[in-house]
Structure 1
Amino acid sequence: MPDGTQKPQASTMRKRLTVDEPSPRSVFLDVPNMPWEETKFPGIRCKTLYSDGSGMATLLLELEPGAVVPLHEHTAIEQTYVLKGHFVDEEGECLPGQFVWRPAGNTHIAWAGKEGATILGVFLRPNIFADGRPFFTEEKKA
């Protein structure tokens, strides 16, 4: 129930509202116990929370103090929520609990402040990096 006092039975399979078929199952992740993955960007590690193969991705990113996300262009809206630390670019800065979104075409360099940063990033398509490096999730493609 919505008040959290009673869980629905696991064997109950809900049907979709728009077609006569079972509702796809939710995917739950134990994020604290997922390993951090190294990226091609020095001082930046990530946990891929969602990736659909087309470039849409939700990433938990941990940036060491001063780590830099090099010059890149957003190919679609990017959304970033700062969990810890200080996340900065030429246009502004975000502290814990703050949020920034960037439109398609936004081109910038971003970096972590002296205390580093942990951010949640939501990407609709991979960014294009000036030096040709692949986006965080591109190497996972087959």
Structure 2
Amino acid sequence: MRTRLTANEPSPRSVFLDVPNMPWEETKFAGIRCKTLYSDPSGMATLLMELEPGAQVPLHEHTAIEQTYVLAGHFIDEEGECLPGQFVWRPEGNTHIAWAGKDGATILGIFLRPNIFADGRKFFTETDGTEA
């Protein structure tokens, strides 16, 4: 076992996920499913999300940077559209509605802290970071 460079203790082990064989989790948003690749108590999360055609992430504000990479389909908001292989990041304070295009969308989303939704719904906004 390798030792850390900054402390005289074992290096923590990597965590490998078999993502294709992980089940999709239903979310509180119609037409949106996810696979949780990482989450922690601070609300940091990495999610693989699948949005059916026209599925919408309702009005919300980002409390920290959000990063999104589009794997398939079209991911759209009032400011623009991302196609497969494209990337968008939104700064803290950005408030928007996002939705999938006519072919749906598969995206990888990285969140540093929980978002705040206008309608009060929770989506990775609980203090334990596990509510989807």
**Once the two structures are superposed, what CA deviation does each residue of 1:103-140 show, in whole Å capped at 9, x if it has no partner?**
00000000000000000000000100000000246373
Q: Aligned ranges for residues 117-128 of structure 1 at < 5 Å?
A: 117-128=105-116
- After TM superposition, which residue ranges in structure 1, 4 or more long, deviate above 3 angstroms? 136-139
CA RMSD of aligned residues (A): 1.1
Tell me, in whole angstroms, the C-alpha distance in 1 between the residues paired with 2:12 and 2:40: 15
Q: Alignment length, in residue pairs?
A: 129
- Unpaired stretches in structure 2, ≥5 consecutive residues: none
2:116–2:125 contact (8 Å) kept in structure 1: no
Q: TM-score if structure 2 supplies the norm length?
A: 0.95
Q: Which has the larger radius of gyration?
A: 1
> Which of 39, 44, 56 pairs up with 1:68?
56
Q: TM-score if structure 1 supplies the norm length?
A: 0.88
Tell me, in whole angstroms, the C-alpha distance in 2 between the residues paired with 1:136 and 1:77: 14
Deviation of 1:53 (Å):
1.5
- Unpaired stretches in structure 1, ≥5 consecutive residues: 1-12
Q: Aligned ranges for residues 93-108 of structure 1 at < 5 Å?
A: 93-108=81-96
1:51–1:137 contact (8 Å) kept in structure 2: no
Q: Percent identity?
A: 88
